[in-house]
Amino acid sequence: MITQKVQLAEEDLQFVEEACRELKYRSKSEYFRDAIRERIRSDRSRLRELKRQAAMEAYGDGFDRAFESIEGEDFEDR
């Protein structure tokens, strides 16, 4: 693991210490690792969604036309 120094506001540090005690974390480091891991998971999901939206926009309304061929009034008869 890579070591990083972090600066926190006093009130945030107090919250972390209380949360560690109440939630039975072994250390503040474990709390921070879990918090960072969850944030990374969330950000990856957000970035994936942004990339998907960008791809959909790049594809344009051709995406809508792609489904016109399988939809329609005679869909059941095909």
Report pLDDT for 3: 85
Whole-number Å distance between alpha carbons of 48 and 22: 34
Residue 33, CB-side half-sphere exposure with 13 Å CA sphere = 9
Percentage above 90 pLDDT, the chain: 58
> Does position 73 have pLDDT exceeding 90, yes or no?
no
Q: Which residue has the tokens 């869909």?
A: 75
Q: Tell me the per-residue pLDDT of 10-41, one tens digit each, with 9 for 90 and over.
A: 999 999 999 999 999 999 999 999 999 999 99
| Residue 47: φ, ψ to 5° | -65, -40
Classify residue 3: in a domain, yes or no.
no
pTM for the whole structure: 0.63
The boundaries of the domain holding residue 36 are: 11-68
Classify residue 75: in a domain, yes or no.
no
Classify residue 19: in a domain, yes or no.
yes
Classify residue 58: in a domain, yes or no.
yes
Classify residue 1: in a domain, yes or no.
no
Q: What is the rounded average pLDDT for all residues in the chain?
A: 84
Q: What is the mean pLDDT of residues 38-51?
A: 95
How many folded domains does the chain comprise?
A: 1
